[in-house]
Structure 1
């Protein structure tokens, strides 16, 4: 069995690339059907930057390359804390709802296939995640990225709101 490092494809720029899904699609025309392919990919640097992309073409390799290029263009910075999230968060897109919770060191990535690929590319080492609603890979990928981008650094939020970090994270006793 291949080790984790061997399974993750790393390109010449040091980005982690993963193919999430390939679908065969058909366009119905007067003379019959024209078949093509749609690919969904994720690209990340393993250190908090991640992007997803979709590509469509008549052949699989071309669709995958288009998706990889789009994923590189769509890369965004995700705020992480020691390989996990700062706090539990929910991401939504369409009928897909993704619940993500931070996990203690050594837990690993406990998530479905689409989410797992995104977490690995982003550099998340420990997380608990669950998909609620549709499991369509495109919607799950978009919901996961939306949830990750929604996470803010609690220290910065506390400074902005004039409160302590414990109050922001709900760890305050509340007897003030």
Structure 2
């Protein structure tokens, strides 16, 4: 049963919630502007400091993906201790035990936007829906770049500089990593960074790591501090700092040119190497023929 429940949870996480813009009736002024088409980019809202009070605003402006984080723990003799999506608590009353379920959800477009939300209810489905809605309301812009001294890429695949976050006894430090290294961090932290569009990061954590709620909050605090640091134009160009979404074609244009140049250089060098090898082989053959003649 536990394996079946786990498969159902993972399948529900991977499913994207469908949004019908025609049936949406906005209640706020910001929602009406989005519905009328006056606001077409979510960066305009997040940059102005206005609060998003309707999750449908995010659904209409971004193609998001959602996933539930493993904050709970299974109980029982078989399978006890394994991580679960829902964190269950019980209240003792005269009528009996009254359980409640809590969960954390992460929503992002994997291109510079991510949000985390917490939901709690007497049943699992309402708790999950509350978490998804809260994550969309907490959507934020993530600053990305290439801050590793080992990397010379112009694609913003990592973070521009090291940042720290803390919650309770848990402390985490996120550091830029070169391209191809991956997300060297906790699994739940990696889910958040992946939804934000960050592909390579080093991390260092201290404190109590079993409490995943503190881990998630500390990670979001570190990501928020990326936007709080003032950066000069020189560093912005050198570290390829980008805020928000970036078109893939614009990202890879410079790298494609570099790849073509290196390919041309390699193709020009290959015939020279082949010629050197042929000269060596002919010299060896000539020396062998002279030795045979001397023996005769």
The TM-score normalised by the length of structure 1 is: 0.80
Say whether the 8 Å CA contact 1:112–1:130 is kept in structure 2. Answer: no
Residue 68 of structure 2 is matched in structure 1 by 19
SS of 2:206's equivalent? strand
Residue 35 (structure 1) aligned with residue 109 (structure 2): no
- Asked if 1:75 is matched to 2:139, the reply is yes
CA pair 33-18 structure 1, distance change in 2 beyond 3 A: same
Larger-Rg structure: 2
Aligned to 1:62: 126
Q: What SS does the corresponding residue of 1:110 show, helix, strand or coil? A: coil
Structure 1 residues 28 and 89 mapped into 2: Cα distance closer, same or farther (>3 Å)? same
Distance apart, 1:29 and its partner CA: 1.8
Q: What is the CA-CA distance between 1:49 and the residue it aligns to?
A: 1.1
8 A Cα contact 1:55 1:67, kept in partner = yes
Structure 1: gaps (5+ residues): 1-5, 170-176
Structure 2 gaps, min length 5: 1-10, 19-58, 71-85, 146-155, 240-296
1:45 aligns with one of 109, 113, 122: 109
Looking at secondary structure, tell me which structure has more strand per residue: 1
Question: Which position in structure 1 is the counterpart of 2:7?
Answer: none
What displacement does 1:61 show? 1.7
* CA shift for structure 1 position 11: 4.1
Out of 128, 131, 136, which is 2:205 matched to? Answer: 131
Q: 1:101 aligns with which of 175, 186, 189?
A: 175
Equivalent residue pairs, number: 157
Aligned CA distance change for structure 1 residues 109 and 93 (closer, same or farther; 3 Å): same
SS in 2 for 1:54: strand
Question: Which range moved further: 44-53 or 28-37?
Answer: 28-37
Cα root mean square deviation, aligned:
2.4
Instruction: Give the Cα separation in 2 of the matches to 1:11 and 1:69.
Output: 11
State the match for 2:195 in structure 1: 121
User: Any runs of at least 4 consecutive aligned residues in structure 1 with deviations exceeding 3 A, and if so which?
Assistant: 6-13
Which residue number in structure 2 is paired with residue 3 of structure 1? none
Query: Which one is further off, 28-37 or 67-76?
Result: 28-37
Which residue number in structure 1 is paired with residue 222 of structure 2? 147
Paired position in structure 1 for 2:272: none
Deviations 1:98-142 (A, max 9, x none): 111111011111111210110011111111123311221111111
Q: CA deviation at 1:152?
A: 3.9
Instruction: Give the 3-state SS of the residue equivalent to 1:42 in structure 2.
Output: strand
SS of 2:110 mapped into structure 1: coil
Offset, 1:153: 8.3
